[in-house]
Amino acid sequence: MYILTSRPHTTMRKAFSIFLFIFATILASTDVKASADTALNDALTDSLEEKSFDFSTIKDLIFDHLGDGYGWEVPFNHHKRIPLPVILYSSEGGFHCFSSARIEHGHEYTEDGITFKIAPKGHPHQGKVIEVIDGKEYKPWDISITKNVLAVFISSLLVLWMVLSVASWYRRQPLKAPRKTRGAIEELIMFIYDGVIKPTLGANSMRFAPYLITVFLFILVMNLMGLIVIFPGGANLTGNIAVTLVLAIFTFLITNIFGTKHYWKEIFWPDVPMWLKFPLPIMPIIEFFGVFTKPAALTVRLFANMMGGHMIVIVLTLLIFIAAALGGTLLGGATVVISILFSVFMLLLDVLVSFIQAYVFTMLSTLFIALAQDNGHHGKKHEEDVIMTPLPDTSIPMGNHIDDPAIAAGEIFENK
């Protein structure tokens, strides 16, 4: 476990600093989207009772379930939520902190003459806390601990425990391999380091490994926690584009801040025919926009794949209630069996997708960083090596004339 045992204090200090920076930035950028008052189960139950289903509400139900909220849903009881702290900075000045239970289910909470409530559907700030002062509505500065923010805390603690537990083991027993959970975590870390980081970055692998391993574990934990339907799981973190955007921005900053002169030279004056860069800078413009399309691809790829996976599972579950409301008992019973089987299959597939997406994000980040570390000497050095490599001496010594070609060939190979 070289990466954890060589220079352990320096490596762990770098990893810890990078992780804290990522963690704080994600907390600051996470969009506060509160769930609607009507829960998924309530809407479907009402539809069953009325023997009808409003298909226009399906989209709202799906996105409300996948969105953020000021409370954490309790399994099998959508009327109750685990309350979370609401922290606001009023437009009139001053902080206000209270429990989210005070503003759930359309309730209003008044403090110091200011009324707080969650904006209803159709409001410009739908699902977010607004304040009412003298009959006028304002949007306060919201730094509440929402479901997604708390999930980031939990995922961060899990990642810290994973890394520090393996590092502490090798400090105490450097010559003995860990087993069980620590052994599995070590294999996961070394799989990424030996399989992705080291072959791609080479001599720079130890320099960027703390960030890349942290990102991989962080995304993997967030993905897997999102598949758990009960607390502390259930938060769709990687399905929130703010989270994936922050992770992509970190890769973007590291790639361009630590990029070599050759990397920047290839962007603004690439090695292409002159007519492609002067007088019209066609290739420099393309290369410059490519700098920004890389983090955009990282953002959308992770967000779309994880959001799509969760959405498919929810849609398959909705088919049970839709068929029961519209198709009768027989069709509803058959749909229940099919939907449950497909839902289980999709959940198992999402476990694999969770690992694949974390791996792909790390692999692409490693590749982008490696491209920025190119100093432009590899191709030239290879050409020099080819030119300077002496050819083998296949000549036959003078005075040893051999008439038989087969014997001559044997002599050549013996000389080699």
Per-residue pLDDT of 342-351, as tens digits, reads: 777 877 888 8
Tokens representing 317?
């579950």
Tell me the C-alpha distance between 127 and 63, whole Å. 12
pLDDT band at 289 (very low <50, low <70, confident <90, very high): very high
Longest Cα–Cα distance in the chain: 114
As a whole number of angstroms, the distance between CA 298 and CA 300 comes to 6
Amino acid at 414: E
Closest CA to 32 of 63, 60, 68: 68
pLDDT band at 69 (very low <50, low <70, confident <90, very high): confident
Per-residue pLDDT at 196 exceeds 90: yes
pLDDT at 161: 93
The DSSP secondary structure of 206-252, one letter per residue, reads HHHHHHHHHHHHHHHHHHHHHT--STT----STTSHHHHHHHHHHHH
Q: Residue 38 and residue 64: Cα distance in Å, rounded?
A: 9
Cα–Cα distance between 11 and 37 in angstroms, integer?
47
DSSP secondary-structure letter at 337? Answer: H
Q: What is the pLDDT of residues 85-100, one digit of tens each?
A: 999 998 888 899 998 8
So what's the pLDDT on residue 363? 95
Task: Please give the C-alpha separations between residue 334 and each of 202, 348, 387, in angstroms, as whole numbers.
Answer: 56, 22, 73
Across the range 161-189, mean pLDDT stands at 89
Tokens 């920004």 sit on residue: 292
CA 178 to each of CA 71, 174, 273: distance values in angstroms, whole numbers, following the listed order: 39, 10, 56
Given a cut of 90, whether residue 154 has pLDDT beyond it is yes
- % of the chain at pLDDT higher than 90: 28
Residue type, 177: A
Q: Name the pLDDT band for 16 (thresholds 50, 70, 90).
A: low
Question: Which stretch of DSSP H or E encloses residue 126?
Answer: none
Separation in Å, CA 259 to CA 126, 182, 215, 264, 371: 42, 35, 20, 7, 8
Per residue, the 3-state secondary structure of 102-122, as one string, reads HHHHHCCEEECCEEEEECCCC
User: With pLDDT > 70 as the criterion, what percentage of the chain qualifies?
Assistant: 69
Measuring CA to CA, which residue among 231, 239, 245 is closest to residue 313?
239
Residue 74: the pLDDT is 75
Q: Please confirm whether the linkage preceding 397 is cis (ω < 30° from 0).
A: no
> Is 90 exceeded by the pLDDT of residue 273?
no
Question: Of 14-23, 135-144, 225-234, where does mean pLDDT reach its minimum?
Answer: 14-23
Block residue for tokens 């994880």: 306
Side-chain-side CA neighbours of residue 115 (13 Å): 11
Lowest mean pLDDT among 69-78, 176-185, 207-216: 69-78
CB 211 within 8 A of CB 13: no
The candidate with the shortest Cα–Cα distance to 83, out of 150, 140, 31, is 150
Backbone φ/ψ region at 76: left (φ over 0), alpha (ψ -120 to 50), beta:
left
- Of 71-80, 129-138, 199-208, 379-388, the one with minimum mean pLDDT is 379-388
CA-CA-CA-CA dihedral for 8, 14, 19, 21, to nearest 10: 160
Output phi, psi for 91, to 5 deg: -65, -20
**Residues 6+ positions from 355 with CB-CB distance below 8 Å:** 220, 223
Confidence check: pLDDT of 246 > 60: yes
pLDDT computed for residue 68 by the predictor: 81
**Does residue 211 carry a pLDDT above 90?**
yes
- CB-based contact 49:171 (threshold 8 Å): no
- The pLDDT value recorded for residue 104 is 85
Instruction: Name every residue whose Cβ is closer than 8 Å to that of residue 172 and which is 6 or more positions away in sequence.
Output: none
Angle between helices 241-257 and 8-29 (to 10 degrees): 130
Using 50, 70 and 90 to split pLDDT, how confident is the model at 155? very high
Instruction: Name which of 169, 216, 161 is nearest 189 in CA terms.
Output: 216
| pLDDT single digits (tens) 113-132 | 888 998 888 888 888 898 98
Q: Cα-flanking dihedrals φ and ψ of residue 86, to 5°? A: -100, 120
CB 339 within 8 A of CB 320: yes
pLDDT confidence of residue 221: 94
Q: Which of 42-51, 136-145, 178-187 shows the lowest mean pLDDT across its residues?
A: 42-51
Give residue-wise pLDDT tens across range 324-377: 666 555 555 666 677 777 777 877 888 888 899 999 999 999 999 999 998 876
404-410 mean pLDDT:
43
